[in-house]
Amino acid sequence: MDVRLFALRVLYSAPNWALMSRLLLFVAVFLAVQQLMLWRSRDLTPEQAAARTHGRWALGAVLAAWGVLTVVGYQGAATRHGHFAAAQSAPVRVTYGDPAHAPVIQVFTAPGCGPCKSLEGRLKAVIAQGYAVQYIPSSLGDNDWDAINAAMCEPDRRAGFERLFGMGFTVPAAPAPLCISGVTDNEAVLRKLAGQLVFPTVIMPDGFLVIGAPSDARLRSYLGAAAPLPAAKAGGQAL
């Protein structure tokens, strides 16, 4: 197993799991330091002696709990494969780059999503390097589905996507939909993946699920470890 990739998957796991994991590690470090100080002391009060004895058990319990969280929160191969397949089932998407010959990053996004706009800027450089990005549009609420559907029904779907999703936090009234694009079905896929509607939700090329917008450092470090491009790979198509 790639130790670096394992560490990145543990570090970048779901926010709730990561918070609890770090809390347990903090407690473990505190108990370890306390034990070290007690073991170095020659004259201990009865209370300190008891603390030294009980502290060993407490430290073991905390480390065991951290281990359990690591196993539960770690996205193994089967889990990652399920994430990737589920995201691929979203019926409507807008693609940049060449998904047939490049690692594919799938991103659930919505009009008016500030973190999505921030991530989009980072993904432009990633696309230019040779990765493919597939945006899977959805909605922050129920008021802009007509606008999203109309954009996805345009003859040039990419142009409609760029115009609508480049409008910042304001979604204007949409004309009557020209067709039924099926874009509303994307929402059910996102709920299945993330358990809630949270934007952006990112599925890395190996199926690793990231809730929220990864920083540039996290994005590049994970891609470099999980889906590195060949040295000769160049080009791409920026949004």
Q: Do 128 and 192 lie in a common domain?
A: yes
pLDDT for residue 154: 87
Give Cβ neighbours of residue 51 (< 8 Å, ≥ 6 apart): 34, 38
The count of structural domains within the chain is 2
Where a domain ends, among 19, 49, 73?
Answer: 73
Question: Which one of 20, 54, 73 terminates a domain?
Answer: 73
What average pLDDT does this structure show over 221-235?
A: 79
Whether residues 109 and 46 share a domain: the answer is no
User: Do residue 27 and residue 128 come from a single domain?
Assistant: no
If asked whether residues 180 and 200 sit together in one domain, one would say yes
Same domain, 63 and 129: no
Query: Could you count the other beta carbons within 10 Å of the beta carbon of residue 239?
Result: 18
Task: Give the list of residues 6+ apart from residue 213 with CB closer than 8 angstroms, or none.
Answer: 115, 116, 118, 119, 200, 202
Domain identity same for 115 and 160: yes
Backbone angles phi, psi at 41, to 5 degrees: -80, 135
pLDDT digits (tens, 9 = 90+) for 111-153: 988 899 999 989 999 999 999 999 999 998 877 888 899 889 9
- 97, 126 Cβ separation under 8 angstroms: no
pLDDT of residue 238: 40
- Alpha helical stretches, state H, 74-100: 77-88
Q: Nearest 5°: phi and psi at 151?
A: -65, -40
Closest C-alpha to 166, from 126, 135, 209: 135
Q: Which of 128, 80, 129 is nearest to 106 (CA)?
A: 80
Q: For residue 153, what are the domain limits?
A: 77-226
Residue 211 lies in a domain: yes
What is the full DSSP assignment across 44-56? --HHHHHHHHHHH
Question: Which carries the bigger pLDDT value, residue 45 or residue 105?
Answer: 105
pLDDT tens digits along 63-121: 776 666 665 556 878 889 999 999 999 999 999 999 999 999 999 999 988 899 999 98
- Are both 140 and 188 inside the same structural domain? yes
